[in-house]
């Protein structure tokens, strides 16, 4: 099993709709979870971090963590064309190594 899995293909959402992204991870002991956004040809930038079970909201973004089921999700509300990017899930492992998923491409259609 891969350390961090993001299995969904490209996600197309109409402007103003909710984009939902999911991520699962293999290490039950992981404590720190992140979502990075990467525009085409650019470097990743952090948009959300979450450490406790439940929801964490920041503007139009909500991260959800369920440690028992080992998944993390990201919701983007009121999606805008500027949200079109690849979203990378990242999980810190015990030796301080940050492992990334392959990413999910989001396309917001005006």
Nearest distance in Å: CB 87, other proteins: 11
- 54: number of Cβ within 10 Å: 9
In this structure, are residues 5 and 25 in contact, taking their beta carbons and an 8 Å threshold?
A: yes
Comparison of 16 and 52: residue with beta carbon closer to other proteins: 52
Among positions 12, 80, 98, 109, the unique one binding other proteins when judged by CB under 8 A: 98
Per-residue contact string for residues 3-42; x = within reach of other proteins by CB under 8 A: -x-x------------------------xx-x-------x
Q: What is the DSSP letter of 81?
A: G
Among positions 1, 14, 97, 110, the unique one binding other proteins when judged by CB under 8 A: 97
Whole-number Å distance between alpha carbons of 93 and 83: 28
Whole-number Å distance between alpha carbons of 29 and 92: 10
- Name the token pair of 34: 């992140």
Report the candidate in 12, 104, 36, 30 with the shortest Cα–Cα distance to residue 71: 30
Comparison of 16 and 51: residue with beta carbon closer to other proteins: 51
Contact set with other proteins (CB under 8 A): 4, 6, 31-32, 34, 42-46, 49, 51, 88, 92, 95-103
């Amino acid at each position: 099993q891969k350390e961090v899995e993001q299995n969904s293909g490209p996600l197309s959402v109409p402007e103003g709709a909710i984009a939902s992204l999911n991520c699962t991870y293999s290490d039950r002991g992981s404590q720190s979870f992140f979502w990075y956004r990467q525009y085409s040809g650019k470097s990743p930038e952090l948009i959300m971090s979450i450490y406790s079970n439940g929801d964490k909201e920041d503007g139009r973004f909500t991260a959800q963590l369920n440690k028992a089921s080992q998944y993390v999700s990201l919701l983007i509300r009121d999606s805008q064309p500027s949200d079109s990017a690849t979203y990378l899930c990242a999980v810190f492992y015990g030796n301080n190594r940050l492992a990334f998923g392959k990413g999910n491409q989001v396309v917001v259609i005006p």
